[in-house]
Amino acid sequence: MDFNLTGIPAASSNNPDGIENVVILGAGPAGMSAALYAARADLNPLVITGMELGGQAALTYIIENYPGFPEGVGGMQLGELFQKQAERFGARFEFDVASEVNLSSRPFRIKTYGKEIQAKTLIVATGASPVHLRIPGETELTGKGVSYCATCDGWFFKDKKVAVVGGGDSAVEEGLFLTRFASTVNIIHRRDELRAGAILQDRAKKSEKIRFTWDTVIKEIRGKDAVEEIVLQNLKTGEERVEAVDGVFIFIGHKPNTQIFGGQLEMDSLGYISTDMQMRTNIAGVFAAGEIADPHYRQVVTSAGMGAAAAIQATRFLEQGEV
């Protein structure tokens, strides 16, 4: 990989050689927890936040399953608390995006939009992004009624009819959130049973605003300047029909944000970074934590735990060499 250092200013670090002890990519629960633990190990970590400070958790209206908050905590608020706690011990946060990494030798080199950074250890916590349906009208009408975030866009659908696609926790949770604004929420699921947890299912089934359309997919989203209607197909009967809606919220899972690590870090068949139990990747000194390396749990608490483990391991690596 051509990785030109010329003319790119180095990031400031507390080390005389300007090389960072620990660089953390991503500021979701995994990155924030890694920052806290690395800061408390006096490593003065640098977090490159990416575009989504707080990660996907920050887009969640209320998180009810993070321990320590019996009444729940706002996703954004939890992100801010994580950050404050890490900063208290010396973590530095830069709102920037890593566009290229070179992990072929140490120090690792990380190119962002603003600078180039060298790091003794790297913790990858870049999370995942929503999967798209890839149907006609989806891209064209994104931001014009098609959305992947109810917390961000729900407000625009006051007294309007919305469709929600998916049958997992996200679809049901976000569907419930949308009942605050929308007149009706039609949860469209390709099977006839939900994947979502029992508590969420129960709440959704009790909601007067939510209805379910089973065994059905959306084939097309139509509208001139905004979403106007969707074409639905029943997978059991093959029947197609058109339904008028003002918004389509899509929650059909996530894909890991691993693009810049291709050819360097080992990944599984789904593109998640492969790690061992100590969050070690195939490259000594590079660790991965959170949803980037976790296709199984994807919870705030598990991501935070992985971030803490990665930082502890990075600390050991710096103290003892390869661990």
- Which residues lie near ligand NAP (CB under 6 A)? 65, 133, 165-171, 173, 190-191, 195, 217, 251-254, 298
Nearer to ligand NAP, 39 or 171 (CB): 171
Catalytic residue among 2, 17, 96, 149: 149
Catalytic-labelled residue, pool 17, 42, 152, 268 = 152
The yes-or-no answer on residue 169 being catalytic is no
Burial label for 90, CB within 10 Å (0-12, 13-18, 19+), is: middle
Q: What is the DSSP letter of 225?
A: S
The three-state secondary structure class of 260 is: helix
CB closer to ligand NAP out of 94 and 138: 138
SS3 219: strand
Which CB atom, from 102 or from 129, has the smaller least distance to ligand NAP? 129
Judge whether 153 counts as a catalytic residue: yes
Distance between CA 144 and CA 222 in Å, rounded? Answer: 11
- Name the residue with the smallest CB distance to ligand NAP: 168
Least separation in angstroms between residue 290's CB and ligand NAP is 12
Looking at beta carbons only, is 142 or 282 nearer to ligand NAP? Answer: 142
Burial class (CB in 10 A: 0-12, 13-18, 19+), 241: exposed
Q: Half-sphere exposure (CA, 13 Å, Cβ side) for 318?
A: 23
Q: Which of 153, 169, 246, 294 is catalytic?
A: 153
CB of 133 to ligand NAP, least distance (A): 6
Rounded CA-CA distance 60/154 in Å is 12
- Active site (catalytic) residues: 149, 152-153
